[in-house]
Amino acid sequence: MLLIEKVLLLRASEIFWQTPEQELVELAGILEEIYLEPGVTLFAKGDPGTCMYFIFKGKIRVHDGGYALAVLEENDFVGELSILDAESRSASATTAEESILLKLEQEPFYDIMMNNAEVLKGILKTLCRRLRIMDAKSVTSQKASETNPLAL
Amino acid sequence: MLLIEKVLLLRASEIFWQTPEQELVELAGILEEIYLEPGVTLFAKGDPGTCMYFIFKGKIRVHDGGYALAVLEENDFVGELSILDAESRSASATTAEESILLKLEQEPFYDIMMNNAEVLKGILKTLCRRLRIMDAKSVTSQKASETNPLAL
């Protein structure tokens, strides 16, 4: 893969869409290319998590035992929370077809993030946006379940 | 208020529970004490958000128009997403009784965070933990609404 392809993949992801090009080039340089057959376990629920993966080609099934949580495709990524908080995996991930992934390890990622306010701010914005979206959903479902608005 | 009281209030909050004492003392030093009567609007939905508040005494009602989202009390905090992403407020906040708050502005907070890996890691962990909890809730409700597990 070309460096520019890696940069474009990072740029297309929600987590790095606000990161300046120069920092993306630096991040792209530390990505490891991985080629996997279908049915390979990327990680299992409960595993320690110290890396994340960007999907260049293929499909990844995210599941909790037999419960499918998501099927991720090109330009998606998986395992992003563990790279940020180093907690164990909250779900399993398995290749659903032949896949090419880019692996980002926690340590070099943290080094870049700690030395670059723009990378950090982009990631904080992304996490906050997700929380805002989830908060808004919970407000919407609260409103929908109420016959009378609650005015405390 | 004593500096030690401010440190303890920060320490009791979800957002700074993992921040080392030395950094808490630094953060405590930039907090502004605010005394408010009941019924005062702290911020309105849609306002630009550049600070957060810790509740030392009193009660804060978080609401979207007439819909009550939460009533926050001593040791709680409010407005934390805006200090991280500088987006507008997603809800309004109003004092429900006489309150003493500590205001933390975005700029000095960012300065401390950017110079201190421990502060940063603690905040990232907190945001990730919240996302994990919300993800788990959505899995639980998905499972509960299914008669047969979905195995993609």
Question: What confidence score (pLDDT) does residue B150 get?
Answer: 45
Residue A63 lies in a domain: yes
- Asked if A95 and A78 count as a contact pair (C-beta separation under 8 A), the reply is no
- ipTM beyond cut 0.90: no
pLDDT tens for each residue of A129-146:
888 887 777 667 666 666
Q: What's the domain count of chain B?
A: 1
pLDDT tens for each residue of A75-120:
899 988 888 887 899 899 999 999 999 999 988 888 888 777 777 7
Residue A77 lies in a domain: yes
For chains A and B, count residue pairs whose Cβ atoms are closer than 8 Å.
Answer: 102
Q: Which of B54, B44, B51 is nearest to B9 (CA)?
A: B54
Q: Which residue's structure tokens are 């992801």?
A: A13
A91 contacts on B by Cβ (under 8 Å): 139
Residue B146 lies in a domain: no
Residue A124 lies in a domain: yes
Q: Identify the closest residue of chain A to B89 by CA–CA distance.
A: A132
- The residue that leads in pLDDT, A23 or A98, is A98
Edge-to-edge strands of the sheet including A77-78?
A: A32-36, A99-105, A51-57, A77-78
The answer on pLDDT for A147 being more than 60 is no
Residue B7 lies in a domain: yes
pLDDT tens for each residue of B97-108:
999 999 999 888
Q: Identify the closest residue of chain A to B85 by CA–CA distance.
A: A125
Domain residues for the domain of B56 are 3-140
A63/B152 Cβ within 8 A? yes
- Asked if A89 and A78 count as a contact pair (C-beta separation under 8 A), the reply is no
Residue A141 lies in a domain: no
Residue A68 lies in a domain: yes
Q: B47: which 2 tokens?
A: 């306002």
Q: What is the CATH number of the domain that holds A68?
A: 2.60.120.10
Residue B68 lies in a domain: yes
Q: Which residues pair with B109 in a beta bridge?
A: none
The answer on pLDDT for B141 being more than 80 is no
Tell me the C-alpha distance between A58 and B58, whole Å: 54
A90/B135 Cβ within 8 A? yes
